[in-house]
Chain A
Amino acid sequence: MRIPKLAQFIIIVAVLYALLKAPGVFLGKPIPESLIFMYMVLVVATVLLVMTSTDESAEELFSPIRALVQDPKKAFARNIVFVIAPLVAGYIAYGLSSKGMEPPAELRSIHPAPLSKMAAYGKRFDMATLENPLRATETEDKEIFNAYVAEGAGIYFKNCFFCHGGKLDGRGHYAHALTPRPLPFKGRDTIAQLSESYVFWRVVKGGPGLPSEGGPADSSMPAWEDKLTEEEVWKVVLFLYDFTGNRPRERAREGK
């Protein structure tokens, strides 16, 4: 049996909508509504474009709608649709406007641009050239490097673990009380995208040290400048990359 074009259109759109909702329903990881809206606009547009790319196909798609509006024999169906359609529209409008107590969606810059120079520990750091001074031990003396990483782990579990979690997944004991949530370090899309100097800056200066420009930036991170020494921060940074198996972003150099 051949499915009519209009029914095909409705089925394709409905199935894809269900697929987009599935991660939220079955896995507890919803695709945000803002993104589903963008995806569905694309889906509807693409299916419409394909179905109207030839005159025959376009005619087949729209003729049932035309018939519903014009054909005297379809008066009963028309009346039902003309009653149901405004009711559905009203229901959707009501649903959209009745969530008055919910705070608006947040738009936030996760990685604000660092200042070109940072003052901390009684000196000025040039962010464009700053490197982890302990990183060289990774190739020069593996034993010392491992010792640094172990020390970094100790510092992490005494200070950072409570929010960023034992698995470095951003799900520490206090994480649920914070807005915004602490970042996970696992995965390829957080610290793997950043240079060590950037991570150093975020640890040292935390939320209070976010730049006023380039926002809206926000962070629950405290500034660790007064609680950890410069070397301790670098050791924690080594540990973050080592534990998660990520490599810090390197600057492209001549010849690379």
Chain B
Amino acid sequence: MRKHLPGLFGVVSFILVVLVFSQTYAPSAFADDGPDAAGVSTQASAVEAGPIAPRLTKDDYPSSTIVRPRVVVWLAAQMHLWFAAFVLAVPIFVVVIEAIGICRKDERYDRMAYEFIRVSMTAYTLTAGTGVVFAVVLFFFYPHLMRYLLSIFRPTVFLYFIFFVLENAALIMYFRLWKRLKTGAGKIAHLCIGIALNLAGTAIMFVANAWVTFMMSPAGVDLKGAFQGDVWAAVHNNLWNPMNLHRFIANIAYGGSIVGAYAAYRFLSSATEEEKAHYDWMGYTANLIAIGALLPLPFAGYWLTAEIYAYSQQMGITLMGGVFAWLFIIQAVIIGALFLAANYYLWCGLSRSEGGKRYTPYIKYIAFMVAVSFIVWFTPHTLILKPWEASALGGQYHPYLGPLGLMPAKNTAVNIMLLFTFLSFLFYRRANRVAVVSWAPYGKAAQTAIFSSAILNIVFLGVYYGYFTNTVYKVASSVPQVATTLFAIIACLTVEFFIYRGAKEAGPYKWGRMPERSQYAIFLITVSFTWLMGLMGYVRAAIRQHWHVFSVVRDASPDAFTPTIGYAANVVSIGTIIFMALVVFIFWLSGRKGADYGE
């Protein structure tokens, strides 16, 4: 019990802090302030529907000469979000792995799942701790905004706590009963507790998403921000579902990447071959899940962005056509690096089996295609030009590279990048096998035909509909492009399954036979994910610009300006370094305790 005290303390503090604030900032208190305190009018008609949004002045914000309030809230929010993603993501991963272990009757999966839920216990404490800090600084520096939000979302705050308590109860049961419920019906019951843990965790995220998305696309309020009484309308605003989906998928990918980083850390510090083999296998499985979840993520992001455009053209253009487009270029570079790292890990994995050598000559061609796609993917439309370059080009666009800066080129590039990453995976899967069915050459020819036609179709859709028809089709053509990619992947996997049914072994996988440099590729994937979450999270929040709640509550604080891209990138990067240092600390702490599975 004693070892869980810090965690319990964090959880209880978190609950107490937010409960205290939710009572302090109850709607009645808000209404009583009157117009003098916050510039809020409490006219009778408005009070009936709910208080109208406060019109703030700079005096409504506590000033500080020691810290910049926005940076403090920004970093506190980001830290809490990263840890929250960690503790929401890893249990999803753990339950999936536990289920695979049950289905395959392979105890290695169970051991990996247990090891990970144990690691995330420390992360839970830090999540609650950062949550307390975040809540305190938010209520302290932005009291009127929080009062307004609570006047609308108060019922959901209590819902949040209910899910929070349920999640913690499920987590403790899930962890403590692992060894007791190890077989038979007990194991199924244990898996159900894990699913309950994830449902509660996901519900918490959905509730918090409602608050965040309301600030971007407010609903359930009139033009003056007066709440109309329907909480569900405020929750179910335009961006709520797109963000729920985007964050849910991202959490699965993030969970896989964190587990992958842990496996890489333990692989590099392994003292025995057996340990090395275990963590190599763990790293591979985790990466497979991370990259598998990454595949649909751009499309969920596309939906979210399309909804942002649909809600407000102004926010949409600011997001991708204005200054924030530069952060999308950084995003493109990081995502490209992530794909390269994933491919590199698979290429190195070919050395696990003797049969892998058959496929190493193809690596350079795959790398070429990934690199070409990557170049298209991150080439900006509006260029950073020196005066002499601008003079030579006669403008901000390049005559030859300009078309690569548009969305159809990006969509085409990312789909081709996905397909070639899939090809790396396919070769890796074949590394230790030799097909024995007589029609194998025809099957492989069919796969080649599917793969080639898919690429031709993607390029045609991107070029023709992207540049030679109306712009309405330009956006719409991305859907058949994605469908083509998914079809090619599924069709090739299906053919692959039948070709290699009953296949002969070319040489068994020797887990642990991986070069150490491959493990740094896993670290790169994890750091890339974390960095991306910080950068794009900032962009999503910052496109509101000088609004706390878009078009309803104006930000009148001295910080109501868009910081430079360099400054924003620095804040996020510092946050990433601090977070990753804490993650490594958690790994180290976990390593010191030793793996106690089955002991």
Contact = CB atoms under 8 A, between A and B. Distances in A.
A216 interface: yes
B392 A30 contact: yes
Contacts of A215: 322-323, 562
Interface string A62-88: 000000000000000000000000000
Contacts, number: 189
A53 B382 contact: no
A249 B471 contact: yes
A109 B382 contact: yes
Contacts of A39: 375
B315 interface: yes
* A113, A169, A190: residue with the most chain B Cβ atoms closer than 10 Å: A113
Contacts of B69: none
Contacts of B472: 249-252, 256
Contacts of B394: 169-171, 175, 181, 184
A50 B363 contact: yes
A58 B386 contact: no
B173 to A, nearest CB: 45
Contacts of A49: 340, 343-344, 347, 367
Q: How large is the interface on A (under 10, 10 to 19, 20 to 34, 35 or more residues)?
A: 35 or more
A175 B395 CA distance: 10
B450 to A, nearest CB: 26
* A23, A43, A176, A252: residue with the most chain B Cβ atoms closer than 10 Å: A252
A108 interface: yes
Contact of A33 (B336, B371, B386): B386
Interface stretch (A99-107, A132-140, A145-153, A222-230): A99-107
B383 interface: yes
A230 to B, nearest CB: 21
A160 interface: no
B548 interface: no
B314 A115 contact: yes
A115 B315 CA distance: 10
B389 A184 contact: no
Interface in A113-132: 113-116, 127-128
A110 B476 contact: no
Nearest to B309: A252
22 contacts: A23-B400, A32-B386, A32-B389, A42-B375, A46-B370, A50-B364, A102-B386, A106-B387, A109-B325, A111-B317, A111-B321, A169-B394, A170-B395, A187-B399, A188-B403, A188-B467, A189-B381, A189-B406, A190-B397, A249-B472, A252-B475, A256-B476
Interface of B: 312-318, 321-323, 325-326, 333, 336-337, 340, 343-344, 347-348, 350-351, 360, 363-364, 367, 370-371, 374-375, 378-403, 405-406, 467, 470-472, 475-476, 515, 517, 545-546, 562, 565
Given A38-B333, A42-B371, 6 more contacts: A23-B400, A31-B401, A35-B379, A35-B384, A38-B378, A213-B562
Instruction: In the A-B complex, list the 5 residue pairs whose CB atoms are closest, starting with the nearest.
Output: A113-B317, A53-B347, A249-B471, A34-B384, A111-B321
